[in-house]
Amino acid sequence: MKIIADNTVPYLKGILEPVADVSYLDSGDFTAANVREADALIVRSIDKCTRELLEGSRVRLITTATIGYDHIDTRYCDEAGIVWKNAPGCNAASVGQYVLSSLISVALRKGEDLRGKTIGIVGVGHVGSIVAAHCETMGMRVLRNDPPRAEKEGGKGFVSLDTIAREADIVTLHVPLTKEGRFATYHLADREFFDKLERKPWFVNSCRGAVHDTHALLQARRDGKISELIIDCWENEPDIHPDVLALASVATPHIAGFSADGKANGTRACLENIERFFGIKIEKMKEVMPPAPANPEIDLDAFVERRVEKAILHSFHPEDIDSRLRATPDRFEWFRAHYDHPREYPAYRVVHATPQERSLLEKLGFNLSAANAR
């Protein structure tokens, strides 16, 4: 069996070699000639799996180490009998961590508290549900908007976009990018949506760039319809709009889902898809494990105030990657390919927590040391 894999899929090298002939390619080397003899492709969102790439090949399976799959021409694959699989939920916790840290970063800069703010979550699937849980843990009021779920489950617990536009202090997007159908999300956040915003909310996009209309977003930011902009996903990336970069409070190169844990989850999902499709056993899958963080212990006594918020920022703080992107935005893809993937909350042990701090941090997923509790 021959497998072609993107060479930036983490923790993969050496895992499949006992059962397959594996070649690792740069994204730019995913060409029709190079994949023609492959039985399976392991890809990331940057690898465009189009008719032009696949036609005439012997590819039978495409498995992507990502939640999103808009880089795969699913219609052509279905017509050609090529099975495609994504990795739903693999980086949901990572995006939740990114959103919470980014909100805390802005709140601390403004001297504000997240507690008591109302956040409108557009899309309450794997990611949106984790964001909702984190925000409720931090004492925020959560509004949930998810028309497909509301139609399936009933409207209780969900609100309209108009309600979010009217009541939310923060709006965050967590939907897939779809251009067709009743629930299409392309340019969901358009001029009409931004014009309805009443509370000058913070606006967060960490799902897909084209879910917002860039020109409408810029106008809304300039007009003060939104007061803070946290943006990880950009229209037309990697060619990001310089005015959006300049006006953003937090700007990152599509790395919200790039925790080491999320990457390992995505890689394992690809391997599991290969196991099921080809009926084989990948014995080395258990070796797909991220390294321990450089500083796994968080001592709350090191912080004078906002101890919980600073513990969260210890696990991930957007300021470093933000400053590097602003300095050299043309290196957008380089930053993605060479990102130092952070670990998620369970990789950290917190000491010297009060009972109240302990309860909150445990809900988020941190490990708490009983021996060093207050």
Residue among 176, 83, 74, 180 at smallest CA distance from 126? 176
Backbone angles phi, psi at 4, to 5 degrees: -105, 125
Check: CB of residue 62 under 8 Å from CB of residue 77. yes
Active site residue 319: no
Q: How many residues appear in the chain?
A: 374
CA dist., res. 158 & res. 118, Å (int):
14
Active site residue 254: yes
Considering the candidates 134, 174, 187, 208, report the single residue annotated as catalytic. Answer: 208
Active site residue 71: no
Considering the candidates 144, 212, 228, 237, report the single residue annotated as catalytic. Answer: 237
Measure Cα distances from 266 to 1, 278, 365, 366 in Å. 21, 18, 20, 22
Residue among 95, 157, 141, 140 at smallest CA distance from 318? 95
Look up tokens 């002939």; give the residue.
Answer: 21
Cis peptide bond upstream of 346, omega within 30: no
Burial class (CB in 10 A: 0-12, 13-18, 19+), 148: middle
Burial class (CB in 10 A: 0-12, 13-18, 19+), 166: middle
Measure Cα distances from 348 to 74, 201, 223, 295, 316 in Å. 39, 32, 41, 8, 11
Considering the candidates 199, 254, 268, 314, report the single residue annotated as catalytic. Answer: 254
CA dist., res. 102 & res. 149, Å (int):
27
CA dist., res. 23 & res. 33, Å (int):
13
Active site residue ranges: 208, 237, 254
